[in-house]
Structure 1
Amino acid sequence: MMKKTVLVTSLLALTLNQASFAQDSTRQKSTGGGIFGKIINAVSQPAGASGSLTNTDIASGLKEALRIGVTNGSAQASALDGYFKNPLLKIAFPPEAQNVAAKLRQIGFSKQVDQFELSLNRAAEDAAKKAAPVFVKAITSMSIQDAVGILQGQKDAATQYLRRTSGQQLVTEFTPIIDSTLKKNNATKYYSDLVNTYNKIPFVQKANPNLTAYATGKAVDGLFILVAQEEEKIRENPAARVTDLLKKVFSKQ
């Protein structure tokens, strides 16, 4: 318990004083850099004044930080053009149908191909609105051991935890939404028309991928890219994500 208290005390003192980061660059280098590196280093430090933090405080502080991160990530993904204009997230023509897109552009169907890709991304943006509650449920269920493991884990430990605990549920939640949105945006029709046009070209290999499954998988993968980016912010600059709970937890010394 004493080591855990020292761990948290060190985190809290460092979180609300960004100036101390620059003054302690040597320690950052020795522990891998960033706030979490400092936390790990603090585990082996002699115990000092510990304050009144509990294991519950440790878990609650981390959960609150992660809740903010996933909420930000979900909001970014679900915004208009959240996928379509983000080169890291944009959903392109299915890989197995890239030849379809290329050939159709050659014969004058570029507008239809572009419209289809836009519809794919609009479906993902629509589905992403359901992501935050799924993530929050996974975070709420996090144990104290999970929280400590994330603090001491790899740079993407929180993202890995969320993928393990919520990845399949996101697929389940997203599938009917994406299927419905693809139909609403006529993406299914566009794709059917494009593939049928392509399949009439002599000597081409016929294409017929599962469009909904493809778009759902890409939408979920894109969300976790954003979650990883938010985790990096939490690790490198937790002071940028301060709420009343975080102020309470991270101010204890």
Structure 2
Amino acid sequence: MGATKSAARAVRRVWQQVAEGVYRIDRAHVNCYLVVTPDGMTLVDAGLPDSFSGLRVVLASFGAKPSDIDAVVLTHGHFDHVGMSSRLTHEHHVPHFVHDEDRKLARHPYRYDHEAPRAGYLLRYPKAIPVIAGMATAGALSVRGIEAAGALHPDQPMDVPGRLVPVWSPGHTYGHCGFTLPGSGILFAGDALVTLDPYTGETGPRIVAKAATADSERALASLDALEATGARTVLPGHGEPWQQGIALAVSAARAVGAE
């Protein structure tokens, strides 16, 4: 009985309610977010394959199941953001949306441009080794691509529960978009601004290292668009939520620069 309770607690720790109707699912330092509204549910990003257990538990907490999700909106198409996508599509028939510039990447989530070799980062930043190893254990090496619709246009509310508004923020990938949740002060920043960089292990607001970023100069420039949202709460693709406002987060990220 004790072992069963410990296992249940371990599962519960992978998700938390971060705002009214917004649930964070965290697996191996990769976040995705379930938005629950009276009109239905939208999942922002699809994490890693092993994120599915946390998603299923949070859904069950209010009597829902994966097939009840109305849509998945992707900030970008990297493997650690489409990990559950194939399962959600083929087993549960949940439609996916991503910016046109990242549709090809979502189909082939390991074929992405980056400015610097990844291997060197693990030598320079040993704190990143357990982060990357944890991601691999959670299925990061076995992600299948997804065919996502490109019906996602910056600054135009989407026809999904929550009426999320895409924030054009390329640089990490060529089609990266964050999302605001109208009326909430929340910005889903994806990997345009994180509070943990998986490739350095460093924490605090920053852009992702050149090991996984296509164009770091453009990524730094995209911080302007994030700041313009005026968000009070920033929910990143990696790391803990930031509650001190987007302006302070952007200032900190600019101070760090591109690593």
Q: TM-score range by the shorter chain?
A: under 0.3
Larger Rg: 1 or 2?
1
TM-score of the superposed pair, with normalisation by structure 2: 0.20
The structure with higher relative contact order (CA 8 Å, sep 6+) is 1
TM-score of the superposed pair, with normalisation by structure 1: 0.21
Higher strand share: 2
